[in-house]
A and B are shown apart, each in its own frame.
Chain A
Amino acid sequence: MKNKLISFIVAILFINFSLVSIVRADGHVPESKDTIKIVIMGYSGDNIIMQIYGELISKLGYNIEYTPADYIGQFAGMKSGDLHIGSPGWDTTAKDVMADAWGSETVLNMGNIGISVFEDWWYPLYVKDKCPGLPNWEALLDAKCAESLGTVETSPKGRFLEGPIEWGGTGNLRIEALALPFEVINAGSDAALGADIVAAVKRKEPILAWTWQPYWLPAMYPGEFVEWPEYGDGCYDDASWGPNPNKTHDCGNPTGFMWKSAWAGGESIWPKAYDVWRKFTLDEKTMGDLVYKSDIDGVDTMDVAKDWIASNEKVWSEWLK
């Protein structure tokens, strides 16, 4: 009785496993079957980029795993080789960390994705009623405008809601340089920042806050970025530059790019996969459409990535060559 049962189980196991085996159809044989760990952070745009890349190299037969990690923390992971392919780092928020990582020779700069990023002071359109003259920054000098943007913490000054302090915002310096009647309040995380802005927009309360592009928030709610004296070389370190001859930071934010990083040790283990990552680029229009699909239409980022792969074979087949 017992023996029969065991042989029955063994038989079923055998049948089952032989049926579920997966055969790679692609011609490329990966150099190593070791799992490539690809960082995902939970932002739709970055997730889509990483998932397009991940799905492409799994077509080449690599074993991959999407590892959730923190934006800044991922660089420590790549340094020690625990994470292999990093989520894009932005010039505007992770310049120091990236420079530190690339300088250590354990993390490679894999080039620019081709998407420029932009971050600055943003307001919903109805703020223009209170502060006529916007988007020109001089409209913010008006005390009434500032007061309408204030809260109990900052009154009578206006409130400028900046991102987490560790993002290295320069709001305080700009306020000082341009003599704006505002006070900086830092949100501690992107989630808190987004929650505060969206709630204010929903109750039509004036708000002035730090936002960036590409991001779902400015895409979802009508608003504009404040126009500052345009950033030029020297604005941040040469006081004589710009409208205020005695202070630095009297200008808007510099724009920057999204950068690809990877653990240096992986180059020799999965050369082909690294080659694909180097070649990987997307243009801003495509990125915008993909993010829109995910954030506004609510499509899962993985499905967005797979759809893109299905309809853009021409683009990615170049990278896989």
Chain B
Amino acid sequence: MEFKKYFQSTFFFLFLFLILSLIIPKFSIFENLIELPNDYKLPIASYISSITKWLIEDASFGIFSFKELTRALGSVFDAPSIFLKGLLATGFKYETTAGNSVLIQPLPWISVIFIFVMIGVWLKDISLSIFASISFLYVAFFDLWESTMITFASIIIAVIIGIILGMFLGILSFKSIKIDKILTPIFDFMQTMPVFAYLVPALMLFGYGPAAALIVTLIYAMPPMARVTKNALEQVNTEVVELGQMVGCSTIQMFYKVLLPSIKPRMMLGVNQVIMLTLNMVIIASMIGAGGLGYDVWQSLKQLRIGQGFEAGIAITLVAIVLDRFSQKIATRKILYTHGERTIFQKYKLVIVTLIVIIFTWLIGQKFSFLITLPENYTFSSGRFWDRIIDYININYHGNISLVRDFFFIYLLKPFKLFMLSAPWFLFVFLVFLIGFKIQGIYLGLKCSCFVLFIAMTGFWEKAMITVYLIGICVLLANIIGIPIGIIASQNERVHNITKVVIDTFQTLPAFVYLIPVIMIFSVGDFSAMIAVVLYAIVPAIRYTDNGIRQVPQSYIDAATTAGCTKFQILRRVQLPLSFPDIMLGVNQTLMMGLSMLVITALVGTRDLGQETLIALSKVDPGRGITAGICVAFIAITVDRLISAWSYKRKFELGLA
């Protein structure tokens, strides 16, 4: 009896797996069991190549081809951002009938700053005005104005479309389980496929420039909005809905007057994510013709001008934080109803004043060029300050630092990597099946093991294993460090505010800005990649934990306090269990973020699936890239399905579901 119980536990199987995978490769007859034999591999990459080729070259709806359709869509998407770019950065150029060209200068920096100050005034939050002014002055005086405005013009459109589309899809998948079943894996694919995998088809279909950049950005940045919307709707108290039904709301009223207000705080997390992820894409977007700050960062780092790269990176972060804080404030503002008649001027006082000032400064700007771009002797740069700091650390502390790196490498990275590379594929398929079976049943087990089998059949097994090894370690570390920080932040307002700024910075500061110094100190290799991935993937672990605990209704905490719970008991017995779904969503997002960093790890030089997409890009082989991308997505989906099934089971056991 005892033995049977023992036999049933998952740990037993894990143990068995470990032993088997250590022993089997030792026998030379099993040597070619590590990977699937070539005869059983499917030429999936070449199938996908032919499909994309057909899509780009031959697919047609009769009157127009598929490519013409996407191109037309692209130019529709382009139009608003081109207009904004002209208004903010490059100005407008017109040809007169006489053949002369006339240049209308863009809005001067003073007007742009003024607009943000006035929005702050309108929101009755002067500190926001001050923050925005300082940010934009930084940008102007560090000679980054034009780049910043180009970036601003292109991302604002992406953010708006991302939020609306995400909300819409989130509502759809809340309304219908069928749609949800279809959308969830699509979102997983969108978030985890490395960008390089679908860059070539995107460029061909949407053209080289802002439109392709926008599409690629949306693919990556929109899913969190949809997920958060759906998650928020699911957590609406049934009493609220019942109240709505009792007072006789129509479907639309129910949504706008009842559901939307009650999910707003949770939804703002989605908005925040869309903004952060959009800005995260600016470097990749700059590689396909979007220009702006991303290009500045990339160019500086290519020439190892770390200081300049850092300045431009900070500008990206500032744009993100300004956008985020303003959007949060707009969403949570309290509308004051005033009585009595007001004239149009009283009502729109701020708008009118702002418009007058803008037109006035714009006109002056046409004549005085220092209002458009500050002359060089007024701008400054930290110059080689940052480079000197990195040099100092590099020269003086490299010895000690490399000891840490070597320790990690010898005792953690290397053994784990060797283990992953020597374990035979069928054991993995079997293990995944067993875990799935133990958690939920035969269906989940079969589904997940099929995903693993697919990876084995593509022929990317080795690279997939390196991916699992690298991202596995990173996600583990990110959660071990991140969740406790999130818990502390949820308990302490000051820690909360500090971590918020720090994690916003890490999420928006292009990874390259800190990756290049990391490489200088730790040199090229898996360890440097690990630091970059952990720094980035830790963000959702902290954010979702913090947010989840804060969303626990006050009434529960009051009840616990009345029952005589200590603060720790409240945390352990009330807040943590109730925020469990949010924390698990955070764990899931850590994995997604970690996998999305494969693009960056590829640029450091790890031999994972990210590198495969990069090779495919340089060989203009869309099939190879997309197949590698699908492998990444399948890794993500497998782990995600197992985690969420387990978390559902746990919830059920805890009586929460």
Footprint of B on A, CB under 8 Å? 9, 12-13, 16-17, 19-24, 33, 42-44, 63, 67-70, 72-77, 79-80, 82-83, 96-97, 100, 151-153, 161, 164-167, 185-196, 198-200, 202-203, 216, 295
Whether B207 and A80, one on each chain, are in contact in the complex, defined by CB atoms closer than 8 angstroms, is: yes
Cα distance A152–B600 when bound, in Å?
23
B289 and A188 form a contact (CB under 8 A): no
* Cβ-neighbour of A82 out of B207, B301, B366, B601 (below 8 A): B207
- In the complex, are the beta carbons of A76 and B200 less than 8 A apart? yes
- Beyond the given pairs A72-B617, A82-B208, A82-B289, 5 more chain A to chain B contacts, judged by CB atoms under 8 angstroms and listed by A's residue number, are A16-B367, A70-B288, A79-B204, A152-B409, A191-B302
18 A–B pairs (Cβ distance < 8 Å), ordered by A: A9-B359, A13-B363, A16-B367, A21-B101, A22-B100, A22-B102, A67-B291, A76-B203, A77-B288, A82-B209, A97-B618, A97-B619, A161-B524, A165-B607, A165-B614, A185-B605, A196-B520, A199-B520
CA distance A235 to B305 in the complex (A): 39
In the complex the two chains form, what is the Cα distance from A193 to B520 in whole Å?
10
**Chain B residues close to A by CB (< 8 Å):** 93, 95-96, 100-105, 199-200, 203-204, 207-209, 286-291, 295, 298-299, 301-304, 359, 363, 366-367, 391, 394-395, 398, 405-406, 409-410, 512, 515-517, 519-521, 523-525, 601-607, 611, 614-615, 617-620
Name B's interface SS.
helix
In the complex, the answer to whether A202 meets B618 with C-beta atoms within 8 Å is: no
Bound: A151/B601 CA distance, A: 20
Interface residues of A: mostly helix, strand, loop or mixed? helix
What A residues does B607 contact at CB under 8 A? Answer: 165, 186
Shortest Cβ distance from A152 into B: residue:
B406
Partner of B620, one of A75, A185, A193, A196: A75
Determine which of A22, A100, A151, A194 lies in contact with B101 in the assembled complex, contact meaning CB atoms within 8 Å. A22
A100–B617 CA distance with the chains assembled, in angstroms: 13
Output the least CB separation between A236 and chain B (Å).
Answer: 18
Asked, given contacts A12-B363, A165-B611, A188-B605, whether A67 binds B208 with beta carbons under 8 Å apart, the answer is yes
- Known A-B contacts A76-B203, A191-B304; the reply to A203 vs B398 at CB < 8 A is yes
Give chain A residues whose Cβ lies under 8 Å from the Cβ of B615: 165-166
Contact call B611/A80, Cβ cutoff below 8 A: no
Q: Do residues A191 and B512 form an inter-chain contact, with CB atoms below 8 A?
A: yes
Q: Which residues of B contact A76 (CB under 8 A)?
A: 200, 203-204, 208, 620
Closest CB-CB distance, A83 to chain B, in whole Å? 5
Q: Tell me if B299 and A42 are in contact (CB < 8 A).
A: yes
Residues of B within 8 A of A72 (CB): 617-618, 620
Cα A68 to Cα B604 with chains together (Å)? 22
Question: Are A195 and B304 interface neighbours, CB within 8 A?
Answer: yes
- How distant is B590 from chain A, measured CB to nearest CB, in Å? 22
Question: If A20-B366, A198-B520 touch, does A189 touch B603 (CB 8 Å cutoff)?
Answer: yes
**Closest residue of chain B to A67, judged by CB?**
B289
**What separation, in Å, do the CA atoms of A161 and B524 have in the docked complex?**
9
Residues of A near B367 (CB, < 8 A) are 16, 19
Docked CA distance A315–B253 (Å): 73
Given the complex of chains A and B, what is the CA–CA distance between A24 and B101 in angstroms?
9
> Do A195 and B363 have beta carbons less than 8 Å apart?
no
Give the contacting residue for B524; candidates A83, A97, A193; CB below 8 A.
Answer: A193
Those 10 A-B pairs whose CB atoms lie nearest each other, nearest first = A82-B208, A77-B208, A42-B299, A188-B605, A166-B618, A199-B520, A70-B287, A189-B603, A16-B366, A68-B295
Within the assembled complex, what's the spacing in Å between the Cα atoms of A23 and B394?
Answer: 54
Contact among A13, A83, A152, A153 for B208, CB-based, below 8 A: A83
A185 vs B523: C-alpha distance in the bound complex, in angstroms?
11
Residue contact B605 to A186, C-beta cutoff 8 Å? yes
- Nearest CB to that of A204 among chain B residues? B395
Smallest beta-carbon distance A14→chain B, Å: 11
In the assembled complex, the CB of A182 is this many whole angstroms from the nearest CB of chain B, namely 15
CB neighbours (8 Å) of A193 from chain B are: 524
| B residues near A21, Cβ cutoff 8 Å | 96, 100-103
Q: Are A80 and B605 in contact (CB under 8 A)?
A: no
Query: Cβ of A63: which chain B residues have Cβ within 8 Å of it?
Result: 93, 101
For the complex formed, measure the closest distance between the CB of B311 and the CB atoms of chain A, giving whole angstroms: 15
| One of B104, B512, B603, B620 near A17 (C-beta < 8 A) | B104
CB distance B288 to A202 under 8 Å?
no
CB-contact partner of A164 in B366, B512, B605, under 8 A: B605
